[in-house]
Structure 1
Amino acid sequence: MKKPKIIWLNVSVFVITFLFAAIAVPYRAITHGFDSAEITMAIICFIYCGMSITAGYHRLWSHKTYQAHWSLRLIFAIGGAFALQNSILHWSSDHRIHHKHVDNNDVDPYSAKRGFWYSHIGWMLREYQAHRYNNYSNVRDLQKDGIVMWQHKNYLLLTIATNFGIPIAFGLWHGDLINSILLIGFLRLVLSHHTTFFINSLAHIWGKQTYTEKNTARDNGFLAFFTFGEGYHNYHHIFENDYRNGIRWWQFDPTKWLIKGCNFLGLTYQLRTSPEDKVEKARLAMILKKNQQKLATHPNAEELLAKLQHEYDTLIAKLNDFYAAKKQLLAAKKQKLVADIEQSEMMKQYHELKQRMLEQQQSWQFFIEKHA
Structure 2
Amino acid sequence: MSTKVSKRRIIPANLMRWLDSHADSQEDMTSTEFNWVRLMPYVVLHIACFGAFFTGVSTTAVVVCLALFWVRMFAITAFYHRYFAHKSFRTNRFFQFIFAVMGNMSAQRGPLWWAAHHRVHHQHSDQEEDLHSPVQRGFWWSHLGWLTCNASFVTRLERIPDFAKYPELRWLDRYDNVVPLVLILVLFFSGELLSIYLPQLNTDGAQLVVWGFFISTVCLFHATVTINSLCHTWGTRRFNTTDDSRNNFILALLTLGEGWHNNHHRYAISTRQGFYWWQLDITYLILKTMSWLGIVHDLRPVPAHVLKEGRHGR
- The TM-score range, normalised by the shorter chain, is 0.7 to 0.9
Structure 1 position 136, deviation (Å): 1.6
Structure 1 position 33, deviation (Å): 4.0
Q: Distance in 1 between matches of 2:166 and 2:258?
A: 25
Q: Distance in 1 between matches of 2:227 and 2:288?
A: 22
Structure 2: give runs of 5+ residues left out of the alignment. Answer: 1-30, 196-203
Match of 1:165 in 2: 185
Richer in helix (by share): 1
Alignment counterpart, residue 260 of structure 1, candidates 285, 288, 291: 288
Match of 2:134 in 1: 112
Q: Distance in 2 between matches of 1:78 and 1:169?
A: 20
Structure 1 position 47, deviation (Å): 1.1
TM-score if structure 1 supplies the norm length? 0.69
1:219 matched to 2:247: yes
Q: Distance in 1 between matches of 2:33 and 2:109?
A: 20
1:174 matched to 2:188: no
Q: Which has the higher contact order (CA 8 A, sep 6+)?
A: 2
Match of 1:47 in 2: 70
Q: Distance in 1 between matches of 2:222 and 2:252?
A: 13
CA contact (8 A) 2:34 2:146 kept: no
Match of 2:146 in 1: 123
CA contact (8 A) 2:34 2:145 kept: no
Residues 1:40 and 1:123: Cα distance change in structure 2 (over 3 Å): same
- Paired residues, number: 275
**CA shift digits 1:178-220 (9 cap, x unpaired):** 2111101210110111110111111111100011242111001
Q: Distance in 2 between matches of 1:61 and 1:159?
A: 20
Q: Distance in 2 between matches of 1:279 and 1:193?
A: 31
CA contact (8 A) 2:85 2:116 kept: yes
Alignment counterpart, residue 51 of structure 2, candidates 24, 33, 53: 24
Q: Distance in 1 between matches of 2:190 and 2:144?
A: 30
- Equivalent pairs: percent with the same residue? 28
CA contact (8 A) 2:241 2:265 kept: no
Match of 2:101 in 1: 78
Q: Distance in 1 between matches of 2:239 and 2:140?
A: 26
SS of the aligned residue for 1:271 comes to coil
Structure 1: 4+ residue segments shifted above 6 A: none
SS of the aligned residue for 1:155 comes to coil
Alignment counterpart, residue 11 of structure 1, candidates 24, 39, 43: 39
CA contact (8 A) 1:203 1:219 kept: yes
CA contact (8 A) 2:275 2:307 kept: no
**CA shift digits 1:312-349 (9 cap, x unpaired):** xxxxxxxxxxxxxxxxxxxxxxxxxxxxxxxxxxxxxx
Q: Distance in 2 between matches of 1:232 and 1:3?
A: 28
Structure 1 position 39, deviation (Å): 1.3
Structure 1 position 5, deviation (Å): 5.9
Structure 1: give runs of 5+ residues left out of the alignment. Answer: 288-372
Q: Name the larger-Rg structure.
A: 1
Q: Distance in 1 between matches of 2:234 and 2:275?
A: 19
Q: Distance in 2 between matches of 1:275 and 1:268?
A: 20
Q: Distance in 2 between matches of 1:129 and 1:33?
A: 36
Alignment counterpart, residue 170 of structure 2, candidates 136, 142, 149: 149
CA contact (8 A) 2:116 2:155 kept: no
Match of 2:60 in 1: 37
Q: Distance in 1 between matches of 2:182 and 2:307?
A: 43
Following superposition of structure 1 onto structure 2, how do residues 279-294 of structure 1 map, counting pairs within 5 Å?
279-284=307-312, 286=313
Q: Distance in 2 between matches of 1:75 and 1:258?
A: 16
Q: Distance in 1 between matches of 2:310 and 2:140?
A: 31
